[in-house]
Structure 1
Amino acid sequence: MASYLSQAKDLMQQFTSCKVVHIKRSENRLADALSKLASTSFEHMGKDVRIEIVDVPSVPRRQVLVIQTGATSWMEPIKAYLASGILPEDKAEARKIRHKALWYQMHDEVLFRKSFLGLLLRCVDVEESNYVIREIHEGICGLHTGPRMVIAKIMNAGYYWPGMHGDAVKEIQKCDACQRHAPQTLRPQNHLVLITSAWPFQKWAIDIMGPFPEAPGRVKFLPMEIDYFTKWVEAKPLAHIKSSIN
């Protein structure tokens, strides 16, 4: 429509005066009837009805040149081998391409990978893979699931690229919602160090709890001692705690 609009503006500049009039739908029945003739059959129409079929659009097609920027896609060597039989000069790389090409096939200049179930998965490059991961993970129907579930949904949707799991992990770690609402782990940051005791009452653990609300006798502190071997507990309430520094 933009091309037709630009062509109409160019034609309007060739006239000395031009006026654009909006036609109401009720007054545009003849044009609607003519537009519907294109989707109807011509066999039942009379010979006096003349219909012209335009195969070429009135707007000239623009010539588009494909320009590739950035790094070469991982699909280009496989496409070149499947389409023209072109292999890299390095013998090791050429052997890898021949081995990988057994799992791929071309259809309308699009590369597909054969899956174990016989389905064809469309191969995508780096930019498309990042978009697919974000759409599956946090899109309209995204559930902010983990990498394994995201990869399973991507393959069920019919997409493939090498290193899918690693790319999914990197993209999911960047998700702001997952970082904010992820469950907190209670695992200690350091390894636990066990303190053993060879016989009873060899080692004691001492701790002072309080101050608590005053109880009868004005006691409000509770020193506790626990034996490491038998787990025997000794506690005695006190009113005051004196500390001495030697």
Structure 2
Amino acid sequence: MAVSSMNECIRKLGGRQLDRVVDIFADTATAMVTFPELDHYGARPDLKYVGAIEYYDGGAVPVWPKGQGKRIFLYFRAASLVADKVMEALTAFPGVAICSIPDASADFRKKHESERVQIVTSPLDLRRVLETADLTITYGGLGLVSASALAGVPTLVIPQHSEQYLTAQRVAALGIGILFNQKSKLGNLGQHIEYILGANGMSDQAKRFSARHRNHQSSISAALVAEEASALMRT
């Protein structure tokens, strides 16, 4: 059924008919907008990796809450089923946090904000946030995970669906962070935070990742993708 519908459209456009849905990818170029180490299936020598395309600019300058201890940057959604538990763990942690939560309501902010925990709903200058953060907590979007690793900041990933889970597995395998798992020996979320910020080498591993890719530029990655697309259009 799907192939028939696709072939009807292709016929009208004067294209080549398909035998299988997967044939739509035949004779196409592949540019992986990630790093080999973060590929969900591990580095594949037959693929072209151009690196992540992060969007840093355009946000407000971050102002960390006053207080001692480690600095944690959280990017999450208030609509998540575990959002309250995440915020409770941050409140109990002896450090300071900037929480970027675009869908945070006034009630949510009133419930969880404090002198040490700041909640913002508008975009932040991500580069400046990560330059001064000790830990990133997020649900595993590849963009922020990549940006955090490039900044040499370890990441605690709380995945919300399978793709984010795969990203979290790569983060854990690289030793640049961990996957939150309620059934692990690390225990609750607060204990995960303490572990990742402890003397276990994760910050060092994240800094090594950053050093390996110190010449990475998003603008170059974007240009490489555009070049691949333009080459296809000329064929």
TM-score of the superposed pair, with normalisation by structure 1: 0.17
Which of 1 and 2 has greater Rg? 1
Q: Relative contact order (C-alpha < 8 Å, sep 6+): which is higher?
A: 2
Instruction: Write 1 or 2 for the structure with the bigger share of helix.
Output: 2
